[in-house]
Structure 1
């Protein structure tokens, strides 16, 4: 990537110190970067090169349309993660630069997991089983952990609120990152194959077992610190993400629904208030049981997930964006019933409610 050839306005925004009042300009530049379609090194558009050699998407918006989460129907934003696999690295890449081959194709097989409620009704839960289809058509079933891209709106304000309050809290689906910058640069590396100063490897997620991939095209150049995205580029992208307002509620909230939410203990992790915001999350990781566990080898880590913020839940469902880290839940009820571990009491309490009270709680959640 050669940003010295960029228009003067963009160069000035990225290469000079930020004067007072430049935040809006930084966010505007970052928005353009968020929508930018990246190309492989050597392409005619030198301002957008650096993609790959292996990647899953060509733009941030491919997985986060409208800064929202991924979708299950078209597979946008759904990836297969590994615990540092010697062949595949940290993530299965399903696309590649010319002259290289993608690592495989991701498919999902659904396994029924019905849940019977106290009143005798049954909810048709389903468990996703990843299918890794290799280039020679071999199928590796159940390997890795599915991850669906989360929503991004309002996270900059959450980052600020946590910092001002001096409270713990994390970003990413495992709440493993202390700042918003860390999951962003990780996504640039794994999803797009773009290197940054946090992740300077120009070959992205290519492993030592794939030397040809590591020798593939990349966009690092002189004057950029040896990386494809200079720090100013990353900061502009972060300025846009931190500029995003939180999702607006879908309707007025029902006090009785809120009372049910609290009486079940849901507010213990889905904390309604945080520094003047209403994200309905504590942004910490909790044990959600074996049914939702991923394949991390570290003791207990696979069962732990960040409390998903519930703001904007109604809009997510209307847009067809599924819930939970792997998109298995098609609605709020399915998401609740998959909760176990530290959330077992709340999930069991919901399953024991009469139908009318379950409907009231779900209506409350869908207005958040």
Structure 2
């Protein structure tokens, strides 16, 4: 069916576009056990197999690495569910402070691997005591990542501007314009990783394959070092060959893009549902929703993103989703203390907002909270918010018991 708009409305293009996008957008599918419709069944099986494959030294694993598969760091969030969740593995980054509180990364970079092939020494065991600034980072869930990738850069910039306006400058998410590895010379607004270090899932895949597993690809062709010293694993680089950017890297990317959004854990009882809804109102009234945004929307189907290298497909275009995050960097007083490569000095101490979708499932499985896994309860997480989020933490502290209970019930439903 062809929809025709009166000429008068077409002239009012600014209004028309906004209305049309809202009319045509659909809710993103939510599931831990089925994909979002991006891939055929055979394509999905192939992509999942690559994501779960345990790499070997013969294929290029190591010499120094953190885990031997994507699924080891991003396991399934429960039995009979797809891999891609957050997990117990923590990434270690290190460096030291010099004069004037200036941060210097460890030799070879802040990332310190914890495992090694054969009799090789893991980096963590050879790390000098001089590298006394050390941070741990838990792995982040990948469910819904394809929708996050398809949010327009300008939408994230608008969020930043709105935060500044609404808070009179107190809250200002930091935008990181990061390189898009598959589009040389192009940058985009970072959104993936605790440092918002990637905007593209293809770039993210290549970076993780090299840094976490030690396997090189056309987008990340050089082997990791051993605390700055070159190493040779005996396999010619790039190790992930085939296709334009590496067979495995492209399969990892397809798998992540195909993951549905995390489902809510809404109670069936009507009274409890009402309490969850009341908790959401408290969530907004305390100011939490300024950074933990309830809803974002992807660009239209067919839009070119990532330096015009990726055309957003129907399964991901015009979709509303509910991450409860803004994917920007903020100083909330919880760290980290290291400064990652490529970040300006003023970014030290800032962390990407934790998207809260899937939180209830994580809590039910006993996973730890905050970027470094040092918090065990929701109350602890909230009360540790300081600096630009101190006002919101104080609002929570002052809540009557009834409102506090409902807010926590809402958070556990995410």
Alpha-carbon separation, structure 2, partners of 1:51 and 1:60: 12
Instruction: Give the Å deviation of 1:62.
Output: 1.2
Match of 1:152 in 2: 142
Match of 1:334 in 2: 380
Give the match's secondary structure for 1:350. Answer: helix
Give the match's secondary structure for 2:380. Answer: helix
Alpha-carbon separation, structure 1, partners of 2:335 and 2:240: 45
Match of 1:281 in 2: 325
Q: In 2, are the aligned partners of 1:27 and 1:237 still within 8 Å (CA)?
A: no
Aligned pairs, number: 299
Q: In 1, are the aligned partners of 2:216 and 2:238 still within 8 Å (CA)?
A: no
Alpha-carbon separation, structure 2, partners of 1:164 and 1:286: 18
Structure 1 consecutive aligned stretches of length 4 or more whose deviation exceeds 6 Å: 138-141
After superposition, residues 1-368 of structure 1 pair within 5 angstroms as: 23-41=40-58, 49-66=59-76, 67-71=84-88, 77-82=89-94, 85-87=105-107, 89-105=109-125, 134=126, 142-162=132-152, 170-201=191-222, 203-208=223-228, 210-211=229-230, 214-218=231-235, 220=237, 224=241, 230-252=245-267, 254-275=276-297, 276-289=320-333, 291-296=334-339, 298-368=344-414
Instruction: Give the Å deviation of 1:250.
Output: 0.8
Q: In 1, are the aligned partners of 2:240 and 2:248 still within 8 Å (CA)?
A: no
> Cα gap change, 1:316/1:219 in structure 2, threshold over 3 Å: closer, same or farther?
farther
Deviations 1:214-273 (A, max 9, x none): 133335379938x9x952321111111111111111114522101110011100000001
Give the match's secondary structure for 2:281. Answer: helix
Instruction: Give the Å deviation of 1:319.
Output: 1.1
> Cα gap change, 1:60/1:269 in structure 2, threshold over 3 Å: closer, same or farther?
same
Give the match's secondary structure for 1:144. Answer: strand
TM-score, scaled relative to structure 2: 0.66
Deviations 1:297-323 (A, max 9, x none): 732312211111111111111112211
Match of 1:112 in 2: none
Instruction: Give the Å deviation of 1:26.
Output: 3.2
Instruction: Give the Å deviation of 1:285.
Output: 1.3
Instruction: Give the Å deviation of 1:142.
Output: 4.7
Alpha-carbon separation, structure 2, partners of 1:36 and 1:245: 21
Alpha-carbon separation, structure 1, partners of 2:240 and 2:387: 50
Which stretches in structure 1 are left out of the alignment for 5+ residues? 1-20, 42-48, 72-76, 106-133
Which stretches in structure 2 are left out of the alignment for 5+ residues? 1-37, 77-83, 96-103, 158-188, 268-272, 298-319
Give the match's secondary structure for 1:87. Answer: coil
Instruction: Give the Å deviation of 1:99.
Output: 4.3
Give the match's secondary structure for 1:146. Answer: strand
Q: In 2, are the aligned partners of 1:34 and 1:60 still within 8 Å (CA)?
A: yes
